[in-house]
Amino acid sequence: MHTPAYSQLAGALTYLSPTPLPAGSLVRVPLGQRETLGVVWEPTDAGSDATKFLDVNKLRPVSAVLDALPPLTPHWRALIRFAASYYQRSAGEVALAALPPQLRDLSSVQLARKLKKLAKAAAGAVTPAPAAADSAASPPGDLSPLQPHPDNNSKTIALSAEQTSAIGQFNQHPGPFLLFGATGSGKTEVFMHCTAQLLARQPQAQVLVMVPEINLTPQLEERFKARFEAQFDADAVVSLHSGMSPAQRLNSWLAAHSGAARIVLGTRMAVFASMPTLQLIIVDEEHDPSYKSHEGARYSARDLAIYRGHLEGIKVMLGSATPSLESWYHSRPQAEGGRYLRLDMPSRIGQGQLPLVRRVDMAHQPKGCIIAAPLLAAIAQRVARGEQSMLFLNRRGYAPVLECTDCGWQSTCPNCSAFRVFHKIDRTLRCHHCGLMERVPSYCPTCGNADISPVGRGTERLEEHLSELLADIRRPDGQPVRVVRIDADTTKLKGALQAQLAQVHSGDVDVLVGTQMIAKGHDFRRITLVAAVNPDNALFSSDFRAPERLFSLLMQAAGRAGRDAAVASRSEMWLQTTHPTHPLYEALKNHDYPAFAASQLKERLQAGMPPMSFQALVRADARSQEVAQGFLNAASLAATQHTDTAALLSHLTLYPAVPMTIARVANVERAQMLIESPSRTALQRFLTAWQGVLHSTRSAPECKGLMRWAIDVDPLLI
Ligand code: ADP
Ligand code: ZN
Ligand code: ZN
């Protein structure tokens, strides 16, 4: 009996098995000298044809069948098959990336033992008494530090009118849904309520909750755990993300696959979690770019969540205060072609206002000014009142470049088309692209001048500068101001971010400085001022999505201020800009995402850009731009010469190959080619047909020196 199984090779491979194996069975199979995990795939028509020609004597047997595990469901296999075909990869690669690597290392007996433990824990779970309705909101004006989060006492709270209406619509429609709720409008509460009502109805159901970055949203995890572990058992809520140890990841995966886990909370990889009784998918902060994978199969977990919902016939709810323009467009009225139902929650819980947006025109500030005087005064006022401020700047390090004042030498990276950043703390020059790190030279490497100086500013310099400016200001307790910086440099060590966040929550910190990582998600209760120090760059970027990302970041950041209704009325969002009347800032001032989205969609429609059209990028890496671009242009030309690709060309635009924005990284030259079509189907058909052409172009003599190429479907960064 032979059974085709997928490996990371392009097609299905065939192995012998003494007994018939149902499709979806997990096996271990020999592959060359190695042994790898395999999934038994149903024989396709092509597959059964091919097997006729196979020489049974040459086939190798499967090494082991992991029969302790129930087979992966047809839905799961269909999801993998779709993802592989849509993102132009092999099913084996997608399947293997979706399964915990440790499955390879354990025997069926060991797996059976683990499953038994999980089943026992689930059976021992206590059925809870219904919790009493109770308002757990914090008393107004109470800003006492170390106050536990209201959800931690796991009592249910009375829903707001907007929450009630959103949940009502959720219950009446099939979805998919876009929960469009202001920051602090209680979206998380809606997610938990929908989950709770489903589990009350169907105790065996499973819910998948996706979050962009688990480390940045520990509170969501905490709140779900607090609410549902009290109701079920400690294994009822499991996490799945890349920061887990292989053993933890295996345990979570087994809990999900065996049905022991009720709720799986995870990052983008969790969209592939095997959940046989999945009934609901929630995607929090659906606009977040981290849902898009940027290696291997470049899938969008948000888009796959929608597809998975459709496949399984279950509801999907996306949530955001600043939805992606794609989701916003899909949730236009049904009469205009919308496919998602939009659920509106415009108000913050407790009638809290959104912060007042204030723009400082930097053109009227002294030259070289980093923090404008009125902003500084506003921060000082907060310190004196015992409130917190948050400033963010999208550049870590001390200064983005060092320069010789004499000969003009600059700290370029020898391996990349980029500058090395000056980090004052350890006096190094570091390339943020290839990682090259060197001590700062004492003299200019070109002319020997001792006067080399930092140009521009990063978070490290901002922190230093602010501490100097605020040196004379005192807190209500008479102590000097405490400024803390949070960015990728201060949070490298495990637990560092958690420790720093705890410091902010406890009130130890007066001014928080950081990169955009502090602007997202955190429920800081004492912040009444948020400032974007230098947000203008994105206004004029060549990437058409840059304004969308900037608006979303600024709205998220504004949402960090005044989360406690008691201080909301005196909360402010400051923007330092040389374009104070830019329409993006006007829309931000009014907290008007719909107005911003409408103007962006109008531009996109005129320019024929997504979401009104569909794109793919082919990227190529080589030792020279000539080879990288040559390969892409040759493949583009070849598309006109093959009948199956040529037939589709009238539905597509293939642009000429261009260098990537940062053309060289670690001495590799990078080029890309954009393909655009008003039809998703035409683009898909073309890419599938073009794959073979790309492969054969690669072996052309002029493409010698090409290192790799990859297709990115629905790319986010152009
Ligand atoms: P979002 O996810 O939209 O930012 P959250 O769900 O985090 O909003 O809610 C903001 C705050 O309001 C949280 O502290 C939450 O516990 C609280 N909250 C949410 N819903 C209610 C409610 N119906 N009554 C009282 N407090 C609520
Ligand atoms: Zn010099
Ligand atoms: Zn470099």
Pocket test for ligand 1, best of 180, 188, 354 (most atoms within 8 A of CB): 188
Tell me the ligand closest to 453's alpha carbon: 2
- Residue closest by Cα to atom 23 of ligand 1: 159
Does residue 403 have a pLDDT over 90?
yes
Nearest ligand 1 atom to alpha carbon 151: 16
Tell me the ligand closest to 437's alpha carbon: 3
- Residue closest by Cα to atom 18 of ligand 1: 186
Q: What is the DSSP string of 216-251?
A: T-HHHHHHHHHHHHTTS-TTSEEEE-TTS-HHHHHH
Average pLDDT, the chain: 87
Q: State the pLDDT at residue 67.
A: 86
- Name the phi and psi angles at 51, rounded to 5: -65, -25
Enclosing H/E stretch for 191: helix 187-201
- Name the phi and psi angles at 464, rounded to 5: -60, -45
Q: State the pLDDT at residue 501.
A: 84
Pairing of strands 572-577, 614-622: unpaired
Pocket test for ligand 1, best of 209, 349, 523 (most atoms within 8 A of CB): 349
Tell me the ligand closest to 217's alpha carbon: 1
Tokens 């009375």, residue located: 158
Torsion of CA 10, 15, 19, 23, to 10 degrees: 0
Taking the centre of ligand 3 as the mean of its atom positions, its distance from the CA of residue 699, in whole angstroms, is 30
pLDDT tens column, 117-133: 888 777 665 444 344 33
- Residue closest by Cα to atom 14 of ligand 1: 150
pLDDT tens column, 419-465: 999 999 889 999 999 999 999 999 999 999 998 999 988 999 999 99
Nearest ligand 1 atom to alpha carbon 284: 2
Give the C-alpha separation, 13 to 44, whole Å: 12
Tokens of 113: 């033992």
Taking the centre of ligand 1 as the mean of its atom positions, its distance from the CA of residue 529, in whole angstroms, is 20
Q: What is the DSSP string of 306-359?
A: HHHHHHHT-EEEEEESS--HHHHHHTS-GGGT--SEEEEE-SPGGGPPPPEEEE
Which residues are near ligand 1 (CB < 6 Å)? 137, 150-151, 157-160, 163, 181, 183-189, 349, 523
271 and 305 Cβ atoms separated by less than 8 Å: yes
- Residue closest by Cα to atom 17 of ligand 1: 186
Taking the centre of ligand 1 as the mean of its atom positions, its distance from the CA of residue 149, in whole angstroms, is 10
- Residue closest by Cα to atom 25 of ligand 1: 137
End-to-end CA distance of the chain: 49
- Residue closest by Cα to atom 6 of ligand 1: 186
Q: What is the DSSP string of 255-297?
A: HHHHT--SEEEESGGGGG---TTEEEEEETTTT-GGGB--SSS
- Name the phi and psi angles at 148, rounded to 5: -65, 155
Tell me the ligand closest to 160's alpha carbon: 1
pLDDT tens column, 10-39: 567 788 877 888 889 898 888 888 888 888
520 and 285 Cβ atoms separated by less than 8 Å: yes
Tell me the ligand closest to 452's alpha carbon: 2
Q: Which of 535, 265, 568 is nearest to 392 (CA)?
A: 535
Strand order in the sheet with 237-240: 237-240, 263-266, 206-210, 278-283, 315-320, 177-181, 341-345
Q: What is the percent of the chain with per-residue pLDDT over 70, rounded to a whole number?
A: 91
Name the band, by pLDDT with cuts 50, 70 and 90, for residue 521: low
Q: What is the percent of the chain with per-residue pLDDT over 90, rounded to a whole number?
A: 61
Pocket test for ligand 1, best of 147, 152, 155, 189 (most atoms within 8 A of CB): 189
Give the C-alpha separation, 248 to 166, whole Å: 35
Does residue 402 have a pLDDT over 80?
yes
Nearest ligand 1 atom to alpha carbon 183: 4
In this predicted model, which residue has the larger pLDDT, 697 or 516? 697
Give the C-alpha separation, 166 to 177, whole Å: 10
What are the distances in angstroms from CA 285 to CA 50, 97, 178, 429?
45, 24, 11, 35
Tokens 């990841």, residue located: 249
Nearest ligand 1 atom to alpha carbon 160: 23
Q: State the pLDDT at residue 619.
A: 96
Nearest ligand 1 atom to alpha carbon 163: 23
Does residue 94 have a pLDDT over 70?
yes
Name the band, by pLDDT with cuts 50, 70 and 90, for residue 610: very high
Name the band, by pLDDT with cuts 50, 70 and 90, for residue 325: very high
pLDDT tens column, 257-283: 999 999 999 999 999 999 999 999 999
Give the C-alpha separation, 584 to 359, whole Å: 12
Segment of 22-26, 222-226, 231-235, 321-325 carrying the highest mean pLDDT: 321-325
CA angle 551-554-556, nearest 5°?
A: 105
Taking the centre of ligand 2 as the mean of its atom positions, its distance from the CA of residue 451, in whole angstroms, is 8
Indicate the SS3 state at residue 502: helix
- Residue closest by Cα to atom 21 of ligand 1: 186
Taking the centre of ligand 2 as the mean of its atom positions, its distance from the CA of residue 430, in whole angstroms, is 19
Tell me the ligand closest to 665's alpha carbon: 3
Tokens 């000539």, residue located: 626
Torsion of CA 314, 315, 318, 319, to 10 degrees: -140
